[in-house]
Amino acid sequence: MRGTQLGVLLPVMLLLTGCAQSASQPQSWDFFAMDTYMTFKVWPQDPALPERTRTEIERLESLLSVTRDGSDLDRINHARGTPVTVSPETAEIIQMGLSCGAETGGALNIAMYPVSKLWGFTQDTHQVPAPGEIADALEHTDLSRISVNGETITVPDGTELDLGALAKGYAGDRLRSVLQENGVTSGILSLGGNVEVIGTKLDGSPWRVGIADPFAPSEILCSVMTRSGAVVTSGSYQRYFEENGRRYHHILDPETGYPAEQGLVSVTVTGEDGVTCDALSTALFVMGKERAVAEWNRRQDFGMILITDEPALYYTEGLDMQDLPAIPVEVISHEP
């Protein structure tokens, strides 16, 4: 009797350990939101997490989406110069966008929506606008005329805001907080070009974040090792169209209203919070290599990887780079 009992129990226990192994694995899920494909891989498992992250994204989209009726941004953009009261979060992100714009000498401009609408990047109707149209639209992109007073935002009639350069970064930060509040101690989230990591991998080693090859976007050009933080890439390869043999990408230079052509094809920024990295990656792309290096030397609170059209790769000292490519690579050091 004892023998048979043990004979039954043993395979049963083995099967249980098998399941235990699957539960000790990270949990993965994905969905489409904020005009991008988001993937999650976290530990420990919790069946409620996918729904929680989805709800949070849904909440943020209802505030920050520029195309959704009734969102904070939509109300600001249709206020015709009257003050609009928004959620504290929207006000905070707008304030962040404005100060990053000021710090980068206007390389980041959250009021470029009238121009980007002409190019059709938000509506997927791509066309090269007439120079006169661009010049007219640029009239409405003056950051100094936007006022933020607590949660009251006032923009001049004709000016429209687009938080596309910060929204995904902010969303990544919020998702990271939500997961951590729910007990996640290890994880990696990818929101299109924005990657955020929590802690280390289960074996204690840092996360390997692949940087896409701008010349072959399905391949990894190199990797950067990182622990708890954000890695955000802005690249001209991410969204573009061709017309009459010329390529037009989605990162517009607020100075000219045309796609930024400063010799960069991809800018990756690493740092503590995703929203800063997101804003910086766009601004540095517009600034070009020389000004980007100067900005890095000035701030020194982030890491950066630049890929130029030469092609060549530059990265700031202190970054743990892996699998470096065969193209010329140079380390950017601090100015003495």
Partner 1 sequence: MKPRRIAELGVLTGIALILFVIELRLPELTPIPGVKLGLANIVTVFCVFRYRAPETVLLVLTRIFLGAVFAANPASLLYSAAGAALCLTGMLLVKPILSEKQIWLASVLGAVLHNTGQILAAILLMQTTAVLGYLPVLLFSGCIAGFLTGMAAQLLLNRKIL
Partner 2 sequence: MNRKALLLGIVLGVIFLGSGGVLLWQNLHKPQGAHIEIVQDGKVLYTMAYPTAETRTFRIESENGWNEITIRDGSICISDADCPDQTCVKTGMLRSESLPIVCLPHKLVIRLEEP
Query: Applying CB under 8 A, which residues contact partner 2?
Result: 12, 15, 18-19, 22, 30-32, 35-37, 39, 124-126, 190, 209-210, 212, 216-220, 237-241
C-beta of 15 vs 331, nearer to partner 1? 15
Q: How far is the CB of 30 from partner 2 (least distance, A)?
A: 7
Q: Which of 23, 102, 130, 324 binds partner 1 (CB under 8 A)?
A: 23
Q: How far is the CB of 10 from partner 1 (least distance, A)?
A: 11
User: Considering only 10-18, 62-70, 222-230, 250-258, which stretch makes contact with partner 1 by CB under 8 A?
Assistant: 10-18
Q: How far is the CB of 5 from partner 1 (least distance, A)?
A: 9
Q: How many CB atoms lie within 10 A of CB 240?
A: 15
Separation CA 205–CA 190 (nearest Å) = 19
Question: Residue 6 interacts with partner 1 (CB under 8 A)?
Answer: no
212 binds, among partner 2, partner 1, none (CB under 5 to 8 A by kind): partner 2
Q: What is the layout of strands, in order, in the sheet containing 194-198?
A: 27-33, 36-43, 186-191, 194-198, 229-235, 264-271, 303-308, 312-316, 329-332
C-beta of 19 vs 326, nearer to partner 1? 19
C-beta of 24 vs 300, nearer to partner 1? 24
The answer to whether residues 167 and 175 touch, using CB atoms and an 8 Å cutoff, is no
How far is residue 331 CA from its own chain's centroid? Answer: 24
Question: Residue 50 interacts with partner 1 (CB under 8 A)?
Answer: yes
Question: Residue 331 interacts with partner 1 (CB under 8 A)?
Answer: no
Closest CA to 184 of 26, 39, 21: 26
Taking phi over 0 as left and psi of -120 to 50 as alpha, with beta for the rest, 257 belongs to left
147 binds, among partner 2, partner 1, none (CB under 5 to 8 A by kind): none
Separation CA 171–CA 61 (nearest Å) = 9
Q: How far is the CB of 7 from partner 1 (least distance, A)?
A: 14
50 binds, among partner 2, partner 1, none (CB under 5 to 8 A by kind): partner 1
C-beta of 51 vs 139, nearer to partner 1? 51
Question: Residue 12 interacts with partner 1 (CB under 8 A)?
Answer: yes
- The H or E element spanning position 98 is helix 88-103
The answer to whether residues 168 and 36 touch, using CB atoms and an 8 Å cutoff, is yes
Q: How many CB atoms lie within 10 A of CB 2?
A: 6
